[in-house]
């Protein structure tokens, strides 16, 4: 069995990885649809980022990057949680992919 060790990745790499995985879940072609992101704030502190790929016919695929739990949670177009992925990322100073 291969063990994975967490490593720090930059925010643009994280955005690309999330967009690619969301497109795979929705059977979409990557880089063909708009992806938006919003900062998740709790108690005045940035605790994560909400990602949304806006596909055809109002299809929306979403993911939440939780900085506290150090994981990304992916949701299908029906809003049901599909999978999660561990990440070791620092909160970005400015959210822009």
What pTM value is reported for the model?
0.80
Structural domain span for residue 26? 11-86
R_g of the chain computed on alpha carbons? 13
Which has more pLDDT, 11 or 71? 71
Q: Specify if 66 maps to a domain.
A: yes
The dihedral built from the CA positions of residue 73, 76, 79 and 81, taken in this order, carries a sign that is: negative
Q: In the β-sheet with 34-42, what is the strand arrangement from edge to edge? A: 34-42, 45-54, 60-66, 71-75, 81-86
Q: How confident is the model at residue 5 (pLDDT cuts 50, 70, 90)?
A: very low
Could you tell me if residue 6 is inside a domain? no
Residue 19's SS3 state is: helix
pLDDT range class, residue 4, cuts 50, 70, 90: very low
In a domain, 80, yes or no: yes
Total domains, the chain? 1
Summarize the confidence of residues 51-62 as an average pLDDT: 93
96 against 70, higher pLDDT: 70
- pLDDT in the model for residue 9: 63
């Amino acid at each position: 069995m291969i063990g994975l060790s967490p490593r720090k990745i930059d925010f643009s790499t994280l955005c690309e990885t999330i967009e690619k995985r969301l497109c795979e879940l929705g059977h979409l072609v990557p880089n063909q649809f708009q992806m938006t992101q919003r900062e998740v704030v709790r108690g005045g502190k940035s605790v994560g980022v909400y990602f949304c790929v806006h596909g055809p016919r109002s299809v929306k695929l979403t993911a939440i990057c939780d900085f506290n739990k150090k994981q990304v949670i992916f949701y299908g177009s029906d809003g049901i949680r599909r999978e999660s992925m561990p990440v070791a990322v620092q909160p970005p100073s400015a959210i822009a992919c």
